[in-house]
Amino acid sequence: MTSPSIENSESSHMEIPMRPIAYIHSDFKEKFGIPRQSGLASTKAEIVFVPPYNKPEAVRGLEGFSHIWLLWAFSENIKQDGSWSATVRPPRLGGNVRMGVFATRSPFRPNPIGMSCVELEGITMEKEGPVLHIVGADLMDKTPILDIKPYLLYSDSRPEATGGFVGETEFHLLKVKLPETLTATMSEEEQKALIEVLSQDPRPSYQTDSERVYGMTYRDMEIRFTVTGDVLTVIG
């Protein structure tokens, strides 16, 4: 028995239309510094729907779920020529080892689709429609959302799952020092979120220069910092 050929199938080259149903409003105005996975920092964000998907009945029942899945587009990484690479360099492996793109969550994919599991803190009804208030998103501000699905505890939770090459590497957090001039302007909740973001080491894995000053935009601030050993110090 031979396998059916997909190569000559009419469906192999079919176009699947997709359009954003919503956009996210987050504290990350640029790609640098965004947590590498969702749920690693308690940063807050809002999801605002666009017509015709901004109907209150479209989110009826969603308030009963503590977490949701977001399917979204890597809008800053779309290659117009459609090119892609079969292998990528995961940051967790120091950026020096190539792995298959489908064994990673790299943003550089054949189709620029991302997914995130976030906490649903609440839903409010505004003039423009329902707004989802979420915690733990790893999305840049104004990222287009393609779909939203509820997190199902009985099927989505897999305690027996293995982590492949990711599970075999240590997730090391940096110690973060914030200046008093910054903490004086932030609530404890805001400080906690910022520390969680910075502790994950926003630097590219190949950069370890302790003298270099790095900068990232977070909320309405341009944060400058250095890293020496396992300590990240915000200097301005």
Structure-model confidence comparison of residues 184 and 92, the more confident one: 184
74-78 mean pLDDT: 73
What one-letter code names the amino acid at 186? M
Q: What is the pLDDT of residues 12-49, one digit of tens each?
A: 667 888 899 999 999 999 888 888 888 888 999 999 99
Q: Are strands 44-49 and 175-177 parallel, antiparallel or unpaired?
A: unpaired
Report the pLDDT value the prediction gives residue 4, as an integer from 0 to 100: 57
Q: Which whole number is the average pLDDT over 194-201? A: 91
- DSSP assignment of 11-65 equals GGG-------SEEEE-S--SSTT--SSTTSS--EEEEEE-TTS--GGGGTTGGG-
For the chain, the distance separating the N- and C-terminal CA atoms, rounded to the nearest angstrom, is 67
pLDDT at 175: 95
Q: Which residue has better confidence, 112 or 122?
A: 122
User: Strand, coil or helix: what is 160?
Assistant: coil
pLDDT value, residue 203:
83
| CA–CA separation, 216 and 32 (whole Å) | 6
